[in-house]
Amino acid sequence: MATRILRDLTGADEAAAAIRVRGLTRVFGDHVVLDGLDLTVAPGEFVALLGRSGSGKSTLLRILGGFDDEVSGEVLAARRRAVVFQEPRLLPWTRALGNVVLGLPGADVDRRGRAALAEVGLAGRERSWPVTLSGGEAQRVALARALVREPDLVMLDEPFGALDALTRIRMHALLQELCRRHRPAVLFVTHDVDEAILLADRVLVLTDGRLSLDVPVGLPTPRPRAHPAFAALRARLLTELGVRDLAEAAT
């Protein structure tokens, strides 16, 4: 049933939105995973996407990344876009710098690659082989690989899910700093409700193939978890995810 594939936003549309999805449907066999989904993300907006396991978050990112076109509906995204996955997906046979600049056109590719590595705190590690990098370092190389393309839209699929709690906190600060500097639109998939509230301007919940909740975070930054509005939004999101009772029982 492939009727329409991902297209680039152009002209005035590109100035108005980084993502525009209308009536997106994705079916695997008789399993309807995305069911007429609508989504608009503004330029520079940081949007977190929550949803139960198997709700279709990665499916949506794969479509927006251009890796899956067996869909129906309208799917438009900023021309310059990059995806960061849960695992860094570095090529083992090329060094950190080679991974960052892989496939990049232009004359001063190495200089740009070095600058991107420096931005993620990996200056001096250009010649490191992927196997010698820690999980956090490898994920920072993956972030540099996304950044060096100067994207208007960055999509991240549980990018910090495999990292320990301390590295995760550092990665949050790094991502926030990079977003302040480059102002891309961000679509950030996570399982972690607190991570979503800490980072995002707006939080979405994907349920039964559509966005069942779309709420602005509206909290000042930095966002203390003890803030009553933080707790209220956490409770609302956990309820929407159908796990509030479980979460309360565990604390």
Ligand X SMILES: Nc1ncnc2c1ncn2[C@@H]1O[C@H](COP(=O)(O)OP(=O)(O)OP(=O)(O)O)[C@@H](O)[C@H]1O
| Binding footprint of ligand X on the chain (CB under 6 A) | 28, 33, 51, 53-59
- Is residue 44 within 8 Å of residue 183, measured between CB atoms? yes
Binder of residue 139, out of ligand X, Mg ion, none (CB less than 5 to 8 A by kind): none
Residue nearer to Mg ion on the CB measure, 61 or 97: 61
3-state secondary structure of 13: helix
Q: Which string of DSSP letters, residue by residue, matches 116-166?
A: HHHHTT-TT-TT--GGGS-HHHHHHHHHHHHHTT--SEEEEESTTTTS-HH
Judged by CB under 5 A, the residue of 6, 51, 58, 184 near Mg ion is 58
Residue nearer to ligand X on the CB measure, 33 or 147: 33
Residue nearer to ligand X on the CB measure, 182 or 191: 191
Q: How many CA atoms lie within 13 A of 36 on its CB side?
A: 1
Residue nearer to ligand X on the CB measure, 29 or 103: 29
Residue nearer to ligand X on the CB measure, 27 or 215: 27
From 100, 94, 95, select the one nearest 114 (Cα to Cα).
100
Binder of residue 53, out of ligand X, Mg ion, none (CB less than 5 to 8 A by kind): ligand X
- Ramachandran region, residue 121 (left: φ > 0; alpha: ψ -120 to 50; beta: rest): left
Binder of residue 54, out of ligand X, Mg ion, none (CB less than 5 to 8 A by kind): ligand X
Binder of residue 56, out of Mg ion, ligand X, none (CB less than 5 to 8 A by kind): ligand X
What's the min distance (Å) between Cβ of 110 and ligand X?
35
Instruction: Tell me the window of 3-11, 51-59, 160-168, 192-200 that interacts with Mg ion (CB under 5 A).
Output: 51-59
If you search the block for the tokens 């930054």, which residue do you land on?
221
From 197, 105, 88, select the one nearest 141 (Cα to Cα).
88
Task: Point out which residues bind Mg ion (CB under 5 A).
Answer: 58
